[in-house]
Structures are given as structure tokens and as C-alpha cells.
Amino acid sequence: MKDLKDKVAVVTGGASGIGKSIGLALADKGTHVVVADIEPDTAEAAAEEIARAGVRTLAVGCDVADMSAVEQLAERAWSHFGHVELLFNNAGVAGGGPLLDATANELHWLFDVNVFGVWHGCRVFGQRFRSQGTPAHIVNTGSEHSLGIPNTQIGFYTATKHAVLALSDVLRREAPDNIGVSVLCPGIVRTDIWNAARNRPQAFGGPQDGAPEARVMMEYGVDAREIGRQAVAGVERGDFYIVTHSHVRKYVEERAAEILAAFDSQAPYKEGDDRYEVDAIIARVMAAMQEGKS
Ligand SMILES: NC(=O)c1ccc[n+]([C@@H]2O[C@H](COP(=O)([O-])OP(=O)(O)OC[C@H]3O[C@@H](n4cnc5c(N)ncnc54)[C@H](O)[C@@H]3O)[C@@H](O)[C@H]2O)c1
């Protein structure tokens, strides 16, 4: 989407870190911004800061893990602005610990926010974008962990970010032509995500302070403002993968090389193997069913 001026964007997790930086970068382009966050007061403060760039803003308290809250968010955004063109499914939380010691509660919480939250946004806003019929774009915040970095201690988080890539990759094929899709895959960024469990619901163990070592780690991250600008530039270019940290490339290469080596040794191509390609099978089955109907 080349011209972002006077478009309207909804940014979840927009009160802090990468989300607030996306809002600020959008405001520099003249885009009006809805700041949606589970912390309404922080969302209000971020909306005021973004509005200083001369755009209109709206703050909405919203827990993305709750589908009905995301429906209400869309309703508020459309009734306030009359149209919305951009959705950044950015709200996310981190936690977990080593896989052998982590708890199921932690896994449920991370999937609720990082995966269900993203899907809720895709579904609710995607359906509205489809009806609206004008160019629209959805950006899902994944991570370097979407691309295959297997850091220890954060296996649950990594699993959720793989899921975000998978959802985004299928959505870009299923979505109608007026809806573009991107996945934002940053490496470490200086934000408050180390303290994400401050808002963990009782059902998943309740609020908890972040570990001091996690806070110190974040200090090594890139400035969030830089990631906000890169996310917006990715939308302007229409890129699917929006990548920001060059070191991630070597992990992508290593993973691809290991998988390709497995194919070379265990399942080398034989004449006729193409008949098992699922895309072609789906097309054939759908065509046959369609023919049966007519
Ligand atoms: N910081 C990093 O190193 C890094 C790297 C790659 C990807 N990410 C991803 O970037 C996204 C933003 O994280 P950040 O680093 O800016 O962290 P952050 O904690 O600074 O910001 C996250 C925001 O999301 C909000 N939030 C949390 N749960 C929510 C919910 N259920 N509903 C609505 N809002 C909710 C928080 O209140 C906060 O304002 C996340 O998806 C995260 O996984 C972060």
C-alpha cells in the first residue's frame, strides 16, 4: 500500500514498544491510528503522543485473546473513522522457561494472546476488509523465532511465533486480492516485553513480575522506533516477510540446508512424485466436487 496518508490503522499492543513505534511511524506518514491495548490508560497516553504528529487517534482498551473484545474494537474503529485500511496484530507476550519444566498454564496463555489474538484480528478485520472492498493490509507481528531460531528457555514463545508465520502464510493465499498480508519478524528489540506477565489473567496463574535478567537482556535490543519504521516501510513495499536483524539469515540458511540434506539422503525426487503435491490434489478434488454439483 503505497499511499498511507489519511488511511486508518488499528495497532494492537499499541501502547508500548514495537506497537507504539508502529503508531508513531504511521503518524509520520499521515495515517490516523487506533491504539488498542489491554492497558487502557497506557493506550490513552500513547494515543496522545501519536496525535502530536497531527493525525487523529483513538485509544481502545482491548484484550486480543477475547474474540468479542476484538469485534468491539473493530466496531469502535469503524464507527469513529468510517473506514479502516490497516491492521497490525502486534500484541504479544513472552514467558515459559525450559520445556521440561514449563507449565501447561503458561502455554495456554501464550497461545491465547500470541496466536488466538492474531487470528481474532485476522478474522474480524479480514471479514470487514473483504466487505469494504478497498485496498487493505494486515501485518502480524511474528519474530525472529518465526524463522527458526531455536533459542533455549523460550520454546513456548517460539512455538507461538511459528504459528503466527503459518497463519500469515496461508492467509496471504486465501485472502481476497484487496487484502495484503505481511509478517514482521524482528530480532531483539528494547521494549517492556520482559514484564509481560504483569497482565497475565488469574486463569493462567495471575500477574507476575518479569525476571530481572530478562529486563537486562532487553537492553541489548534495537531501538523500537527503528522497527516501527521498518514495519511501515514493509507495508508500503507490500513485502510479505518484513525482516530487521541481519544475523537471523544464518539460522534460516542452516535450517534450510539441514532440511534439504534430509531430503537428499532420505527422499530424493523420483519421476512422478509431483502427483502428491497437496495444492494440486486440492484443486483436483475441488474441481471434481464442483462438477458433481453442476
Ligand atoms: N521485544 C522484542 O525483542 C521482540 C522481538 C520480536 C517480536 N516481538 C513481538 O513484538 C510484539 C510487541 O511486543 P513488544 O516487544 O513491543 O512488547 P511490549 O510489552 O513493550 O508491548 C506489548 C504491548 O502489548 C500489550 N498486550 C499484552 N497482552 C495483550 C492482550 N492480551 N491484548 C492486548 N494488548 C496486550 C501490552 O500491554 C503492551 O502494551 C509482540 O508480539 C512480541 O512477541 C518482540
pLDDT at 96 over 90: no
In percent, the amount of the chain with pLDDT more than 70 equals 100
What pLDDT, on the 0 to 100 scale, is given for residue 148? 87
Instruction: With cut-offs at 50, 70 and 90, classify the pLDDT of residue 139.
Output: very high
Res. 42 pLDDT band, cuts 50 70 90: very high
Weakest mean pLDDT among 13-17, 106-110, 266-270, 287-291: 287-291
For ligand 1, mutation pick of 11, 18, 68, 241 (most atoms within 8 Å of CB)? 18
How far apart are the CA of 292 and the centre of ligand 1, in A? Answer: 48
pLDDT at 164: 98
User: Would you state the pLDDT for residue 49?
Assistant: 98
DSSP class of 178: T
Residues 6 or more apart whose CB falls under 8 angstroms from that of 145 comprise 151, 154, 157, 158, 161, 162
CA 238 – CA 168 distance, rounded (Å): 14
Is 269 a residue of the active site?
A: no
The stretch 80-107 carries a mean pLDDT of 95
CB 11 within 8 A of CB 88: yes
Pocket lining: 13 vs ligand 1, CB cutoff 6 Å: yes
Contact call for residues 73 and 49 (beta carbons, < 8 A): no
| In the predicted structure, residue 294 carries a pLDDT above the cut 80 | no
Query: CB atoms < 10 A from the CB of 199, how many?
Result: 15
The residues that bridge with 136 in the sheet, in sequence order, are 179
Q: Whose CA is nearest to atom 8 of ligand 1?
A: 143
Residue pLDDT, tens place only, 239-248:
999 999 999 9
3-state class of 273 per DSSP? helix
Percent of the chain scored above 90 by pLDDT? Answer: 91
Q: Which of 67, 109, 112, 191 to mutate to test the pocket of ligand 1 (most atoms within 8 A of CB)?
A: 191
Q: Biggest alpha carbon distance in the chain?
A: 65
Confidence check: pLDDT of 103 > 80? yes
Residue 292: what pLDDT? 86
Q: Which domains does the chain carry? A: 8-245 (3.40.50.720), 249-294 (no CATH)
Q: Give 177 Cα–ligand 1 centroid separation in angstroms.
A: 29
In the predicted model, what is the mean pLDDT of residues 208-214?
90
